[in-house]
Structures are given as C-alpha cells and as structure tokens.
Structure 1
Amino acid sequence: MEKARYNADDFDIVEDAVSAEEFKKIRKAATNILYTHQSKFFFKLSIPFCIAGVFMAYIFPIHIIQRMFSSIDGFMNNIGDFFLLLMIVWFIISPLVIGWWAIASRLKHDESQRFLNKHVAERAKQIRIQNRVIYERKLEEERQRQRAMSDGMLGSN
C-alpha cells in the first residue's frame, strides 16, 4: 500500500490552482480514501447485527410472515410484523452490502492514493516553490529599491 504524501493544506493550495473539473476528480479520490478507512469500521460494527438478524429469523417462525400476507385487510393490522420482517432482512443484508462497499473501496485505494500523491502532493510542492521564488524576487526588488533610495540619499550629501 502506497503511503500518503499530502496533507490538508495541500488540498487548499491545489484547489485554488486547478480547474473545478480537475478538483472534482481529486475530491472523488480523497472521498474513496475516506470510504476505505470508514468501511473497515462499519463492517466490523455490522457483524453483530447480522448475527442478531439470523437469530431473530430463527426465533420468529415463518407462520408470522404467512399470517401477515394472508389477506390484504389484515395487512394493516400486522404492520408491526412487517417492520419486524424488514428489520430482520436488513440486519442480514447490511453486512453484505457494507462488506461489498469495503472491498470495492479497498480495490480503488492504491489507485486513489497514487492519484492524490501525483495531483495533490507534487502539485502543491510545485506551487509552494513557485510562491517562494516569487516572494524572494519581490524581496530582492524591495532590497534593491531600499539600496537605491539609501544610495541616493548618501549621494546628495
């Protein structure tokens, strides 16, 4: 896994220097890096919910579901059973969805990291060098102007 060579200040510097379309790609890569780190946590968090969903599916027998959908008239009376079924299905499915999200973002992680290192870290470094050169030029011009003023004062005496 490639190491990150950028920091938050680099994003601010690069945002001012690049077009909106290019910064949209940079933001997408940074979001993918964030998703990679978040998905590990959420997947570990969802495992107990999956176990709870399987446990609830075992405890609540299928006759509740059959009774719930036996007639349309009785459906509204059994809306709590419907939400229970929905909760059981979500508890079982959510770790699979989050796991898929974790795998998908993990596969893109290295590519996103390389993209950010190239387009954010290197470009921010170039911009800092350019800004330093511009600052030094202005400083040198100011020194020359000060020298010229002091030489002019000394020459007039």
Structure 2
Amino acid sequence: MSLLVGVNHVAVLTGNLDRFIDFYHGVFDLDVVFSETTPAFRHAILRTGPHSWLHPAEVVGNPHSAALPAMFDRGHLDHLALTAESPEAFETLRARLVACGASDGTVEDLGAFHAVWFTDPDGMRVELIVIVDAELRDVHEPRPLADSAA
C-alpha cells in the first residue's frame, strides 16, 4: 500500500500566463483557483482534480518557458499526462484539441490506456489519457487505435 494518494501539482514555466490559462481553461474547463502577480513573476493554480493542480509560472526572460519538441530530450521533466474522467470526456477533449489545432486527434492504444498527444501554447507535448483497464493488464508500446480517425 502506498503512502501517497497522487500527484499534488505540476509546476510549468510559461512564456505567457494568460495564454496558458486560456488554453487549459478553454479546452479542459479547468478552474483557476489562485492567481498572483509578484515583483519577480506571475503564477496561477488550475484545478485538475479533487487533489491535483497545474501551477504555471511566468518569469520574464526565463529561457525555459518554451518547451523542446523531441521526446526524451526535453530535460528533467519530459512531458505531462492528464487523465480524462471517462471515455466520453476523453472524446469531448480530443475533439476540442483538434478544433483548436493542438492535436491531429490520433489515438494510441497502450493496452490499459488510450492516449492522444497535443501541444500546448508553449510547445509542451502533453498526453491526454483515458484508462480502459484499471488493473493495468496488458500495458504495451503505443499502437494506432483502429477507429481513431479524427
């Protein structure tokens, strides 16, 4: 039994806090629960679940606010994965990501998960996941899902 109940928050540097908030609120309906401007930086907290948040921070002139595109060459934190509440929510979010040009909508079958990748306004590659087997049986390398035409 784990002594943890999940990930509390992920802090992400952004080049434009308002753009970040607009994207994640607009696509995922995330509520902004905190926002502050200090002399050194601006930051906010967006609720992703009952006990989890995204914590974007805008630091003027910070060279790390734009993401690198190549997987496993992005630095200490390679990517973020968000979990959809249900298969229906996954399809709604996938359609929104395609509509705003953040994803081509291709769904990968990972066995216990299905995933669609998108690029946020700062160029960060992010994965949207829906769990299809909570027991995590048959986790495997990504394969195209046959019926995922966008």
Normalization by structure 2: what TM-score? Answer: 0.20
Bigger share in helix: 1
Q: Name which one, 1 or 2, has greater alpha-carbon Rg.
A: 1
Normalization by structure 1: what TM-score? Answer: 0.19
Bigger share in strand: 2
